[in-house]
Amino acid sequence: MKSFMDGDFLLENEYSKILYHEYARDMPIIDYHNHLSPEMLAHDTKFENLTQAWLYGDHYKWRAMRTLGVSEEFITGNAKDLEKFEKWAYTVPYTMRNPLYHWTHLELQRYFNISETLSSDNAIQIYNRANDHLKGEGFGSRGLITQMNVEFLCTTEDPTDTLKHHQTLAQSNFKTKVSTAFRPDKAIFVEAEGFVDYLEELSEVSGVAINSFATLCDALEKRIAYFHTHGCRIADHGLPHMYFTFFKEHDLNTVLNKRFDNKTISNNEMDSFKCAILMFLSRKYHEYGWVQQFHLGALRNNNNRMLAQLGPDTGWDSIGDWQQAEALSKFLNELDTHDQLCKTIIYNINPRDNEMMASMIGNFNDGSIRGKVQFGSGWWFLDQKDGMEKQMNALSNIGLLSCFIGMLTDSRSFLSFPRHEYFRRILCNLIGRDIANGELPKDTKWLGKMVQDISYNNAKEYFNI
C-alpha cells in the first residue's frame, strides 16, 4: 500500500515512475498564463507570513472555506493573518478529494520541507515553521519562482498597463524571463457598466481620442505596439463564448454612440461589436506574430451581493453551458480564410466541450506550424487530476498529445508552481498505465522524450522562448 503523497505520488507503476523521475521531473517550467503580480516580482516582495503568501488572492481556497461555513472575516475580511491561517488549517482536512488537499501538501513539502498533513492540531507549528523559511534567503517573490526552476512566466495585463514593473524586471538580474499577456477584455465587453470610463483611460494612455470604432481600434493597436515593444508576444481573452455575426462599421459606430449616450444596446448589437473588435484584435495579433488565447465558457460573477462587496475574481464564478462550437469555428475560419490566423490556444471550462475542443483544433492545424492550434490544459475547475486526465485523453483520442504545450498555473499565488509537478505526474502516469497494460510499447526513450516535450520543449518552441 502506498504512503500518502510519497516520492511516487500519483505514479502507479514502474513505467510511470521512470517517465516522471528520469524524464519529466527536472525539466524547467514555462508558465505561460498566470495572474501573478509583476509589481511584487519587480520589488522582490517578501511575505510577512504564510497567510500572505498562500491565502491572499486565492479564491480556490476562499470557496472551500466559505463552503465549510467560515466567516468572510477570516477569508477576505479584517481578521489577523494568523487567525485566517488557523481557519484555513481547520478547513484543509475537509478538502480531501478536492485538488486543494494535494496542492496544499505538495506546497508544504516542496517549499518548506513539511511532510505532516495540515489541520487545526498543528496549525501554529506549521505556520511558524513556514514563516521561519519565509524570513530567510530565497523566499521573496523572486526566490519562490527560482526555487521551482521557472524559466519563463507570463502574467496578464490590461492594455492600459504601463508595464513599468516588467521593464524593471527586464533590466534586473532575475533569471526567470517575465513577460505579459495582453488582456483586452474591458475593451470587448461593450455592455459593461464601466465601458465608457474605460475607453477614457484607454484614450489617455494611447493618445487617441476614441469617438468611433475606427479610433478605438487605433487606440488598441497603439497599445499592442507598446506591449510588443516591451516583449509581449501573447494575448488572452476570457469570453463566455466566441462571437461571429455580420457587422457593418456604421452599425458599430452606432453601438458606441449609444454607449457614450448611456443608452442600452441590443444583444445583436452587442454580439456584432464583440465579433468586430475580436476580429480586429486577432488580425493584429497575426500581424505582430503573437499567440492568442481564448478562455471560453466561464459564468462569472454569479453572486451580485458578493460581487458588490468583494469585486470580480473572488470566488463567485462557475461553469457556463453556452454552445461553443459554431461561433468558434466560424471565427477561426474567417481568420484562416484570409491567412490571418495566428497560433491559437483554446480553453474550455465545461468538460462537456473537451472532445469538441480537441476536434476543433484539427480544423485549423493546416501543417504550416507544428501544433499551431492548441487545446489548452484543464482550466479553472478542470485543473485537477480528473479534469487534466479527461483533457489529455480527449486530446489523445482526437488530436496529438505529443504536440501539446502542457500546463500553466493560471494562479495568483507565488506558491502554486508545484502544480506543474502535479500535472507532470498525472501525464507520466497516464502513459505509464498504458505501457503497463500493453497499450503502448515499453519504449521509455521515445515516451520519455514525449513527456519532456509536453512538460517543456513544446512550449519553448511554441512561444519562441
Residues that bind ligand L4NQUYV4 (CB under 6 A): 35, 238, 295, 313, 380, 410
Question: In angstroms, rounded to a whole number, what is the distance separating the alpha carbons of residues 58 and 9?
Answer: 24
Q: How far is the CB of 410 from ligand L4NQUYV4 (least distance, A)?
A: 4
Coil, strand or helix: which one is 51?
helix
Question: In angstroms, rounded to a whole number, what is the distance separating the alpha carbons of residues 27 and 29?
Answer: 7
Question: In angstroms, rounded to a whole number, what is the distance separating the alpha carbons of residues 179 and 38?
Answer: 9
Question: In angstroms, rounded to a whole number, what is the distance separating the alpha carbons of residues 159 and 416?
Answer: 26
- C-beta closer to ligand L4NQUYV4: residue 83 or 313: 313
- C-beta closer to ligand L4NQUYV4: residue 82 or 307: 307
Q: How far is the CB of 32 from ligand L4NQUYV4 (least distance, A)?
A: 12
Q: How far is the CB of 35 from ligand L4NQUYV4 (least distance, A)?
A: 5
- C-beta closer to ligand L4NQUYV4: residue 238 or 418: 238
Question: In angstroms, rounded to a whole number, what is the distance separating the alpha carbons of residues 196 and 270?
Answer: 14
Q: How far is the CB of 407 from ligand L4NQUYV4 (least distance, A)?
A: 12
Q: How far is the CB of 288 from ligand L4NQUYV4 (least distance, A)?
A: 21
- C-beta closer to ligand L4NQUYV4: residue 63 or 259: 63
- C-beta closer to ligand L4NQUYV4: residue 33 or 259: 33
DSSP label at 212? S
Question: In angstroms, rounded to a whole number, what is the distance separating the alpha carbons of residues 80 and 428?
Answer: 41
Distances (CA, A) of 59 to 68, 96, 167, 272, 415: 14, 17, 29, 33, 14
The answer to whether 227 and 163 are in contact (CB under 8 A) is yes
- C-beta closer to ligand L4NQUYV4: residue 174 or 380: 380
Distances (CA, A) of 369 to 32, 329, 446: 19, 19, 22
Q: How far is the CB of 102 from ligand L4NQUYV4 (least distance, A)?
A: 16
The closest residue (CB) to ligand L4NQUYV4 is 238
